[in-house]
Structures are given as C-alpha cells and as structure tokens.
Amino acid sequence: MLRCLSRPTLRLWRLLASLATLWLALLAPAAAQSLESALSPGVLNQAHAKWQDDCASCHVRFDRAAQDRLCADCHKPIGQDLRHKSGFHGRQKPQACRSCHTDHKGREARIVQLDTQAFDHRETDWVLRQAHAKVECAKCHLPGKRWAEAPQDCNACHRKDDVHKGSLGAKCADCHTEKTWKEARFDHATTSFALKGKHADVACADCHPTSGKTVKYAGVPTTCVGCHKADDKHKGRYSEKCESCHGEKSWKTIDFNHDTETRYPLRGKHRAVRCDSCHTGTLYRDKTPSDCLACHRKDDKHQGSLGTECAACHQESDWKQTGRFDHDRARFPLLGKHADAKCEACHKPGPKGTPVYRDAPRTCIGCHRNDDKHAGNVGEACAACHGERSWKIPRFDHEVTRFALRGGHAAAKVKCSDCHQDLKHYRDTPRDCIGCHRKDDKHESQLGQKCESCHNDRRWKDAPYDHKLSRFPLLGAHVKVECSACHKTLRYRDAPRDCLGCHRADDRHKGAQGSACESCHNARHWTLAQFDHSRQTRYPLTGKHQPLTCEACHRAPAPAGRKTAPLGDSCQSCHRGDDVHDGGFGLRCETCHQTSGWRELLARRPTPPSPSPASGVPR
C-alpha cells in the first residue's frame, strides 16, 4: 500500500511512525518490550535463543553501530583478535558483523556461511604450505569445535606418526618438514655434539641404538670413553679425557704437544722417554712431579747438600755431563770484584765439612760488616752507595732519599760534611730548612719555620712570594706598591692590615667617618669613593640632602669601633637653628616641611574643631 502513496504522503507516514515509536519508548518497559517483540524481523538462531526477548543484549536504540561493539563484548576471543589485528577476523578489512553473520532466520538457520573452497587460509594465523595445502578441512577442524580452536602444533595431528614416542620432545619441525613427514633432515651441529672428522662418516645406528621400534636419541653418551672404552689401552689410568691426546681424525694418531700443553717442555733425553716412565700414577688425580730429584734422587752425589736445583749444573742432554757452574743463573750473580773471589770465601764449610751453598749470605752486610764505617746508622742497604767494583769508592744517588738535592743544594761547592756531621750520623741530619738556615732567618722566627713558603733551593735571597696566600691579598693599586712601603722591617707580620694603618694622612675626614675606609673607598684608587646612603643606612638622602657632603651632617669624630658618631634621624638633629617656631610645633618638622626645600610647606587639610566640654561629648 505504501508504494501507491506519493512521496510527501510517504514522508508524513514515516514521521508519524517515528513519533509513535518515540511515544512508545517513553512508556513502561513492558510495553516497550512488547513493541520490540512485535517489530522483531524473525526468530533468532538456536545459539542466541535465550536473548529472543532481550533485544538490548545486541541492539542499542538509535545507535546502529553499537551492535558490533556488543558482538565483540560477547564473543571475547573474536573481540581480542579484532583489537590485536590477529586471527582471521583481525586481518579482515573493517566491516560490520552483520555483513557476514545474519540472524532472525529461525532456530536452525546457520549464521556462519563459510565457503571452504574459496576460503584463503593465508588470512589466518596458520598458513598452509606444501603438503598441508592438500589436506581436507575436516582433518584439522573437528566437528563441534570452533574453527579457531584447530591445533597448530605438529604433535596434535601427528602423534601417531611419532616413532620416537616422545623421546625427542614435541619440536617435530627440527627434523621433519611440511613437504613430507617421512623425509627428515637433521643438522647434528645444532646439538651439543657436532660431528667432525671420522664421526661424520659413522652411521646413525652406531651411536643411536634401536630398542624394539624406538630409536634412542636422548641420553646417548657424548664422551669419548662412552663409545671407545674397549679401545682404551691405558685401562682408565689416564682418566676419561681421551681428547687430550686422541683426535677425531684418527683414534690411533696421538696428537699431544708436551711443550705447549703442559708447564714442563721435554728437552734433550726427556723427549725419548716413555709416558709411563714419569706418569706412574693415575693422570689428573696423582700430580706428576716436575723437579729433577723426583726421578734422579739416586743420581745425586751431593746427598742434598746443594739443594734440589740440579739444573744449575746438570743438563738434560746427559745427567753425567756437567759444566762449570754459572753463577749468573743463581740468585746472586757475580759482578765486579765478586767475580775474582774464591768459592770458599762465601760458601763456608758446613758441619760435615762440605761447603754450604744455599746458606751463603747474599747481602753486603753478611760479608762486609767489619767494613761498615757508619756503624749501622744508614741501615744494611750497602749497595745504595757502594758498588762491586770498589768498596772504598762510594756512589750515592741522593734522589732515592727523602731529601733530593736540587738547585743550590746540588751545587759542587756543597759538601756532604756541610749537612752530615760525620759518617755515623747520616740519618740524623735535619731535613727542614730551619735546621741548616736558622742563622739566615732575618724574620726572627716571626714567620714560622716553613721557609719553603717563600724561599726555594734555587736562591735563598730575593725569594718570590704569592701575597694571595696571606691574610691580605693585593688587589687594585696595591699590586704595584713596593714591599717596603708596607713592610718597614723584615718582621713582616707587624705590617698593619687596616686602611688607616697606611692611609691615615690621606683621610680628609679626620676620623669623623671612622676607620672602616673600605665602606666607601676601594683598592683600585683612593679617590674612587662610593657610598649608597639609601641601601647602607636607615636614612635615605632625598631632595636637597643629596648634594651635601658627608661632613655637613657627620661633624663629630667617630668613637672607637663605630663607623660614624651617633647622629639622630630627626630634622631637629641638624635643623634646630632653622626652627623659627622655637620648638612650638614639636620635633616632627616633616609634617609640614619637605626635603626639596625648607620653605616649601606641605598642603594640610583643615582639622575640625574639637567639641567643647559643655556639649557633653567625650573628648
């Protein structure tokens, strides 16, 4: 019937329908529900049947776009895919849910219409490759489960094909590919035992035995002795570290360099000795000795009198072949006059009459105590001054002491006896300046005993001095002043530090402004005076007070410890002689007069007359 109506009439009907809908929406909820039920386009699917009479679960009045949000709130896995842009729904271009899923078509209607032939699996999280692309959908997507619940790990579908029975874990893709399940590839280098040398040619079954139908992969030994125990000719005496000598290229070829891989290189006749001649115990457990006596004790004709350093005289080429002892290889090489000394001069006979070698003294004082003219005052380090060429010709580097000789101290005219009293009192020599230069102190000890503060070892007289280190640093015009202008004598500390101490003759105030000259004057120049009366006092200068000199007000001398003499801050302090009222109007002149001119009066408002006592008004 609506098709027969004209457009204006049709619009009118639509407007009336909208008004009726709005009116019904304002009525009771029951009435509204009845209206919605009456306007429902059809019966919901069986999955949505419980919301048949609850339209608000999926629809919001006057907000058609809200339906997609309510769908995502209810179907949470799909809502998560949409938010993360993952899965099939998350990868689709944005569109309304109803464009693919429609309802209100009956209880048995299928909401999801999926064309399995045209479906592109690349839009999902699981792309079908190689053999997987030919598998039927029902093989992975089981009935009664959501399409997205299909498993994505190999074991879920191929568990029955796992001939390893789970012994290699669930990462089937490490060996198998999607091309064909039976074609396996495995890179042994990815394991903890890469196949190198002869191991690369060994068949898998040699290391991975088969138990029934299961091949053992996990738990296979990776140590040499795990497979080669029968090949161990040492019967375990050299431990299980076969790789120390044997290599992967050939078991029978021994690759061990005793010179580089141990701390005992084999030289001379040691190179031809069999391993078990020295390694008699269990290797790595029993430590093999590396000293000569461990093997040659029976060959020691000295019976231990020369110690255990057999190599000092004997050689590896032949034990019986000995040469002259090289004292330079000992801890006391013979230099200078020592080279001409006889062995028994230092190596005294022991209790059995055999010369003692190890117990011979190695210090100078051990042999030359009677030659020490210092009586032990300079210690026992005789080599600091004396040499092996001649004991009587001393050589001494004063730089190694706590008093290095520099400047005037290093002059040729300075003798050792000038500082050192005698040979027995070298260490007792004073190291401070005053110890030797007390007679040269012209300051009469007034500046203390740290002479090095001003003087140095290059020149004692005309010593430079940094006045910044004193309590009176030189600034401005003081920098160019001669020292004698302030320091009348060499008693430098007697010099005054206050301005009046030197500038009393320059004080044109004659003491009226006190002794704190620095309040106005500075070190750049005496005449450059500056004083801010407004900031530095409680009496700012205004009007005709500004051009006045300091002496115009401050006439009396300043008391001791004060900058100026006490001066009141009232007008009467200076203008008592100018008071034509003779004190009749009090001391507050500023209520009428002003600083711009004494005769210029301030404008004043008339004061209302006070009520008379007869009026009864309190005063």
pLDDT digits (tens, 9 = 90+) for 342-372: 877 887 776 656 556 677 888 888 888 888 8
Whether 615 has a pLDDT exceeding 50, the answer reads no
Identify residue 518 by its one-letter amino acid code: E
Identify residue 371 by its one-letter amino acid code: D
pLDDT value of residue 618: 32
pLDDT value of residue 3: 45
Q: Using CA of residue 490, residue 494, residue 495, residue 497, what is the dihedral sign?
A: positive
Whether 577 has a pLDDT exceeding 60, the answer reads yes
Contact 82, 90 (CB under 8 A): yes
Whether 609 has a pLDDT exceeding 70, the answer reads no
Please state, as a whole number, how many other Cβ atoms lie within 10 Å of the Cβ of residue 582.
7
Residue 483: closest CA among 471, 500, 467 = 467
Pairing of strands 210-211, 214-215: antiparallel
**What's the pTM?**
0.30
pLDDT value of residue 365: 83
Q: What's the rounded mean pLDDT across residues 368-385?
A: 81
Average confidence score pLDDT of the chain: 77
3-state class (DSSP) for residue 254:
strand
Residue 94 or 305, more confident: 94
Whether 5 has a pLDDT exceeding 60, the answer reads no
Contact 163, 213 (CB under 8 A): yes
Whether 473 has a pLDDT exceeding 80, the answer reads yes
pLDDT value of residue 106: 79
pLDDT value of residue 614: 40
pLDDT value of residue 231: 79
Residue 50 or 610, more confident: 50
pLDDT value of residue 9: 66
pLDDT value of residue 114: 72
pLDDT digits (tens, 9 = 90+) for 295-337: 888 877 666 767 777 877 788 887 777 656 778 777 888 888 8
Q: What angle do CA 83, 89, 92 make, to 5 degrees?
A: 100
Whether 454 has a pLDDT exceeding 70, the answer reads yes
Q: What is the chain's percent helix, strand, coil content, to nearest 5?
A: 40, 5, 60
Whether 23 has a pLDDT exceeding 70, the answer reads no
Highest mean pLDDT: which of 59-63, 314-318, 472-476? 472-476
Rounded Cα–Cα distance for residues 437 and 418 (Å): 12
Give the pair of three-digit tokens for residue 12.
Answer: 């009118």
Identify residue 47 by its one-letter amino acid code: A
Share of the chain above pLDDT 90, in %: 0
Can you say whether residue 196 is alpha, beta or left, with left for phi > 0 and alpha for psi between -120 and 50 degrees? beta
CA distances from 199 to 95, 189, 202, 227 (A): 61, 12, 5, 11
Per residue in 317-328, is it b (16+ CB within 10 Å) or e — as a string? Answer: eeeeeeeeeeee
Residue 590: closest CA among 543, 548, 555 = 543
Q: What's the rounded mean pLDDT across residues 444-461?
A: 78
3-state class (DSSP) for residue 593:
strand
Give the pair of three-digit tokens for residue 589.
Answer: 């002149």
Whether 483 has a pLDDT exceeding 50, the answer reads yes
Q: How confident is the model at residue 617 (pLDDT cuts 50, 70, 90)?
A: very low
Q: How confident is the model at residue 10 (pLDDT cuts 50, 70, 90)?
A: low
pLDDT value of residue 242: 82
Q: How confident is the model at residue 73 (pLDDT cuts 50, 70, 90)?
A: confident
**Residue 422 neighbours by CB under 8 Å, 6+ apart:** none
Task: Tell the residue number behind the tokens 């896995």, with chain if given.
Answer: 77
Give the pair of three-digit tokens for residue 53.
Answer: 């009479």
Whether 28 has a pLDDT exceeding 60, the answer reads no
Rounded Cα–Cα distance for residues 140 and 119 (Å): 15
Residue 525: closest CA among 560, 571, 565, 475 = 475
DSSP letters spanning 163-184: TTTTTT-S-GGGTB-SS-SS-B
Q: Using CA of residue 330, residue 335, residue 340, residue 341, what is the dihedral sign?
A: negative
pLDDT value of residue 38: 59
Give the pair of three-digit tokens for residue 514.
Answer: 């006190």
Please state, as a whole number, how many other Cβ atoms lie within 10 Å of the Cβ of residue 408.
13
